[in-house]
Structure 1
């Protein structure tokens, strides 16, 4: 499974894998199981014993059992760990450069997917791998839907384009590029958490988008004041 367990890390983070990779794995595994004669064959999945690879492999399997198998998160984790015979994998950490003080467990991941499905926040059946991968590319905006159709996250644009690939001419987007893209996606309000010097907000306001600055240091937690302001703006936009 090592070929399915490729993760682009920022610092010491190593997973879990993003939704496109997770759904592709589920599609492939589901297809293989459907091709196998019922009760006559077993599908064996294996990966290296590297703790990071193992953690991502077990997470994919647990999510598959929740999404496709219809198991509860608790039962899915029990199954992949063989009822406690296998040790739990390493917990996942955030992408910050400091010492990790909070880890995300295998059960946390299974519960998160189950919650997203039960609240209609995410659908395995309608999720588009192609759309996710397209928007995830830096030259297409590095964009991810947090709440489909309502809340979107993106890399803050800079004042100058950064060349990503000289041969293809791929570059990062400017604020005006995002403004046009956001209008096509139905976005009405942009909130900037970075410093105001990163780009000119007029690129958004002149395009008819509301723009709000709520800056706080990169990699840190926002203050309660910023957090509550963000929630109020979000509620108004919804």
Structure 2
């Protein structure tokens, strides 16, 4: 047989080897193996991987040897048989990940190019092994469970683990964080006393917050044994060696989610607690934590060897993406199912939304009928509020005027003016100090045809006074009838400019009305100013005096009190 070269994990400290004979310790190296001390218990042709109890005992032994031989290298070796080599390599890699917290790729790097290559693991079934697990799958499965926080060997109860995995003690294993996989309890007669294994199961479940038991095989015991202890019991029976339907998986996942929400655990069993049990627990692990199918199977076998058999492995592999997608396409129903012990299955989100719409429609019909019965708006409003809590209409929050500014040297409008419009006049040039006159653009107020377009209600007094003075200077009636057009504007210094002109009385045509830009601009300003609380000081403080205007036209500057 070709010699297998040692593999270095920690330089001058930890090595992995394979020897057909028992090597003797030297001055620089200590040799040890667990092939005989920690054997794998096969179901058929399966040979590994070694379980969590094996890893725990291996870690204790390795630490003792390292502590006793601080100046020597430790060679962990196995027989050259491919099965023993695979178990030893997998055990050491998992130790590096779970105990030494190595990342998976560093733990796997030393064995990546090993010669001869390491043998992959197979299932515990009796048929041809057509699905394999590699050491990499096992390492990544353990690493993912560690990262999720439910595989911590520092708090591992070795005595309890090794006790209850025995057939005569109950034949069950915990699969953290929420599951227990176990073989079916059996009663020859429902009236006969329970055996020791069944009593162990009942006592353990009652003290470890198991709230649901799911039976997947034919009836071999009385379900009331669990129900009398306050544990729900559900049957989801399907044939041995087969896979569950998708409808059954949705029911199981939904029921498990309900129990997990309540802080409980779910116990699942088939005849041996391996194949069918692994299908449903594996589907929920993939759904909840994003395991790949290979990682999920490896993790379950690390805690309960032999789980998931034959075509069930391919079933998990083929549907793993679908199970992960359920996290965003499915939701736990809000309607309890009698067949699920009043738990709720998974349903499509679209179906749940449709159901909610139907419930809302029925509620609206109920409100409508009550309103018709009461026959009055006030009473119907009260009825509506009593059925559906009223919520105020959405309101745009008001903006703070000054915010948290400590000092403000400029005059700011309060609150902020309205939004600009495309047909609004452009604001005047805003250079220099900012004041009221600089903020407001120059305005023209036309009084032609007895129509006043005023954007400042408080200035009506001053403008009306100016119109009366100019109108009193009209030409004698013997002259041709002419109308007076008065325009009042504001210059940049804050004074009013009054412009008066006489023109023959003539009503403008429709085209002229449409072409008159002043009306459109003034009207837009009027709308903007109505929306804005920006106001100048009252007309009473302006004390505008309009001088006499002579001739047909006249332009005079109107003095007023200067704004502060």
The bucket for the TM-score relative to the shorter chain is: 0.7 to 0.9
Equivalent pair of 1:96/1:219 in contact (CA under 8 Å): no
Q: CA deviation at 1:172?
A: 5.7
Equivalent-residue separation in structure 2 for 1:180 and 1:140 (angstroms):
11
Q: CA deviation at 1:120?
A: 0.5
Equivalent pair of 2:98/2:152 in contact (CA under 8 Å): no
* Paired position in structure 2 for 1:99: 128
Pick the aligned partner of 1:173 from 155, 173, 197.
Answer: 197
Equivalent-residue separation in structure 1 for 2:175 and 2:247 (angstroms):
22
- Where does structure 2 lack aligned partners over 5 or more consecutive residues? 1-32, 190-194, 261-564
C-alpha distance after superposition, 1:109-131 (max 9, x if no partner) = 11111111111111021111111
TM-score, normalised via structure 1 length:
0.86
Say which SS state the counterpart of residue 131 (structure 1) adopts: helix
Pick the aligned partner of 1:78 from 109, 117, 131.
Answer: 109
Q: CA deviation at 1:200?
A: 1.4
Pick the aligned partner of 2:206 from 174, 183, 193.
Answer: 183
1:222–1:87 distance in 2 versus 1, CA, 3 Å: farther
Matches within 5 A, 1:145-160: 145-148=174-177, 150-160=178-188
- Where does structure 1 lack aligned partners over 5 or more consecutive residues? 162-170
Equivalent pair of 2:169/2:200 in contact (CA under 8 Å): no
Say which SS state the counterpart of residue 102 (structure 1) adopts: coil
| 1:203 to 2:225 alignment | yes
Equivalent-residue separation in structure 1 for 2:116 and 2:245 (angstroms):
38
| Matched residues, number | 222
Q: CA deviation at 1:53?
A: 1.1
Rg larger in structure: 2
1:57–1:173 distance in 2 versus 1, CA, 3 Å: same
1:116–1:186 distance in 2 versus 1, CA, 3 Å: same
C-alpha distance after superposition, 1:24-60 (max 9, x if no partner) = 10121122223322xx311112211111111111111
Q: CA deviation at 1:177?
A: 5.0
| 1:213 to 2:213 alignment | no
TM-score, normalised via structure 2 length:
0.38
Pick the aligned partner of 2:151 from 122, 139, 157.
Answer: 122
* Paired position in structure 2 for 1:164: none
* Paired position in structure 2 for 1:13: 46
Equivalent-residue separation in structure 2 for 1:9 and 1:46 (angstroms):
21
Equivalent-residue separation in structure 1 for 2:36 and 2:74 (angstroms):
17
Q: Which has the higher contact order (CA 8 A, sep 6+)?
A: 1
Q: CA deviation at 1:147?
A: 1.6
Equivalent-residue separation in structure 1 for 2:242 and 2:65 (angstroms):
43
Equivalent-residue separation in structure 1 for 2:188 and 2:204 (angstroms):
18
Equivalent pair of 1:4/1:21 in contact (CA under 8 Å): no
Equivalent-residue separation in structure 1 for 2:133 and 2:169 (angstroms):
30
Equivalent pair of 2:94/2:139 in contact (CA under 8 Å): yes
Equivalent-residue separation in structure 2 for 1:180 and 1:33 (angstroms):
40
Equivalent-residue separation in structure 2 for 1:221 and 1:5 (angstroms):
33
* Paired position in structure 2 for 1:227: 249
Give 4+ residue runs of structure 1 displaced > 3 Å after superposition. none
Structure ranking higher in strand proportion: 2
Pick the aligned partner of 1:59 from 82, 90, 106.
Answer: 90
Equivalent-residue separation in structure 2 for 1:126 and 1:10 (angstroms):
29
1:66–1:180 distance in 2 versus 1, CA, 3 Å: closer
Equivalent pair of 1:192/1:215 in contact (CA under 8 Å): yes
Equivalent-residue separation in structure 2 for 1:71 and 1:233 (angstroms):
36
Equivalent-residue separation in structure 1 for 2:142 and 2:226 (angstroms):
34
Equivalent-residue separation in structure 2 for 1:90 and 1:177 (angstroms):
38
Q: CA deviation at 1:95?
A: 1.3
Question: Which stretch shifts more, 215-224 or 12-21?
Answer: 215-224
